[in-house]
Amino acid sequence: MPASDKKKTEAPALAVPGGRGERLARLGWMATGIAGGMLAEGVRQLAKGNRPQIKDLLLTPSNARRMADQLAKLRGAAMKVGQLVSMESGDLLPPALAEILSRLRSDARSMPRAQVMEVLNANWGQGWEKRFRSFSFTPMAAASIGQVHRAQTHDGRDLAIKVQYPGVRDSIDSDVDNVAGLLRMSGVLPRELDIGQVLRDAKQQLHDESDYLREGGFLQRYCELLQDAPEYVLPKMHADLTTRTVLAMDYVGGVPVESLVDAPQEVRNRVMTMLFGLLLREVFEFRLVQTDPNFANYRYDTETQQLILLDFGATRPYKAAMANQFKQLIKGAMLQDRAMMSAACLAIGYFEESTQDRHVQAVIDIGEQALEPFRDKNGYDFGATDLPERVRNGVVALGLDKEFWTIPPTQAMLLERKFGGLYLLAIRLKARVDVHGLAVEAIFAPRQRSRSAS
């Protein structure tokens, strides 16, 4: 299934390093290149009479470029970690590093044909080509963990085949540890910050996303959950061609959802209303959330006016307790009840009992701003808001306060990312959405939970 109408694979195909030794060597080359760049830059600065700090030498544009290039070549968990750092910490990173790491969201290189053949031979057996009338070895999309090919079988199926890069699953733990070490070395991650649980959660998330049987199961589950909502379309999984590293689905058309910027206002409003409504159902009714905010996960059929949902690798079940805590947080914001919000933030893990009151109030301030669309009873105009900038300023100010370095649970951060992703898409489409009305229905008059995931 396409991630966009424009191919992301203009760059020449590049084989994915499959062995741990080769992947570690590439990371070693990156570290060596960064060290060499530091030395050269230090000499230049000293020659000018400057006394540069180590961090300034590490975070030069050339070193940032070396880091991004090597992560892009590695793909897999290494590239995914770089993407996450770019998305989650872009406003805290030095401009040169933030700009270059952001390339990792779209610069994936595709596998050469011979490597694709190796993967498919291993999964489908020799002679698998006889089952297909056509198979395009030029991928429609290439990302951090795999790439997508279009194919037609002799029995008439039009398919999108997602093929995982070799060695991705086996290298997840070492890639995450090695990249985290390099990021610490670069000064991006403060040494005082304990990210052990974050790294463990990241490894588990990546192991989950690399299991295509798991993803296929969630795809089928969403098809069941959304049977009462024909405005959404999901591709059907084809079990006879699906393995842990190859996922076969219906090919679906449509246009990228972000391409609707020039569509009539009512279309843009409707699409974003559908997306926000779906997310609220996921959290509070299904307790099963597709947590990846990538715009490419959504397409729109302009003829049927249906929203196409793609890619369920990042799907996470949520316990009733956390769903209820987020319900109280949103409800508190809607009622402007800071005490309710404070209790919910404490329960979720945004701060602890011992947290200083000024930090507690700062967290609640950020929460009130982030949930501003939920309070607007007239429909929130995302086309006329500076909400992301205001929230970002509050988060940055709190993040730079060394007396408050609290990392919320991963499940909470994933929900933040998903809501934030919808905000950004709504801003891009300049949509007006009655988020308040959707929340009233989801929180104060919820549907039956007979189909919940847990």
* CA–CA dist 204, 411 (Å, integer): 12
**Is 294 a member of any domain?**
yes
- Tell me if 134 is assigned to some domain: no
Domain residues for 296? 253-454
When divided into structural domains, the chain yields a total of 1
Q: Which residues pair with 153 in a beta bridge?
A: 132
User: In this structure, are strands 288-290 and 255-256 parallel, antiparallel, or unpaired?
Assistant: unpaired
Which residues participate in catalysis according to the annotation?
292
- Domain membership of residue 300 (yes or no) is yes
Which of 101, 151, 106, 149 is closest to 130 using CA atoms? 151
Question: Tens of pLDDT along 157-206?
Answer: 999 999 998 888 887 887 777 767 766 665 555 565 566 777 788 788 88
Do residues 260 and 300 make contact, with C-beta atoms less than 8 angstroms apart? yes
Cα 147 to Cα 131: distance, rounded to the nearest angstrom = 20
**Predicted pLDDT of residue 159:** 98
Identify the pLDDT of residue 292: 87
The predicted pLDDT at position 321 comes to: 95
Q: What is the pLDDT of residue 29?
A: 40
In a domain, 85, yes or no: no
Instruction: Of 343, 414, 360, 424, give the one whose Cα is nearest residue 391.
Output: 424
Long-range contacts of the stretch 370-373 (C-beta < 8 A, 24+): 370/416, 370/419, 371/329, 371/330, 371/333, 371/334, 373/423, 373/433, 373/435, 373/436
* Residue ranges for the chain with pLDDT beneath 50: 1-10, 16-17, 19-21, 23-47, 51-58, 75-76, 78, 83, 86-94, 104-106, 449-454
Task: State the sign of the Cα–Cα–Cα–Cα dihedral 159, 160, 166, 167.
Answer: negative
CA distances from 310 to 164, 200, 206, 215, 330 (A): 16, 26, 18, 11, 27
Residue 239 lies in a domain: no
What residue ranges in 50-191 does DSSP mark as E strands? Answer: 132-135, 141-142, 146-153, 158-164
**Domain assignment of residue 146, yes or no:** no
Please check whether residue 391 lies inside any domain of the structure. yes
- The answer to whether residue 148 sits within a structural domain is no
Q: What's residue 65's pLDDT?
A: 58
Q: How far, rounded to the nearest angstrom, does the alpha carbon of residue 124 sit from its chain's CA centroid?
A: 29
Q: What is the pLDDT of residues 392-405, one digit of tens each?
A: 888 878 877 777 87
The confidence score (pLDDT) of residue 407 equals 79
Q: Judge whether 143 and 82 are in contact, CB under 8 Å.
A: no
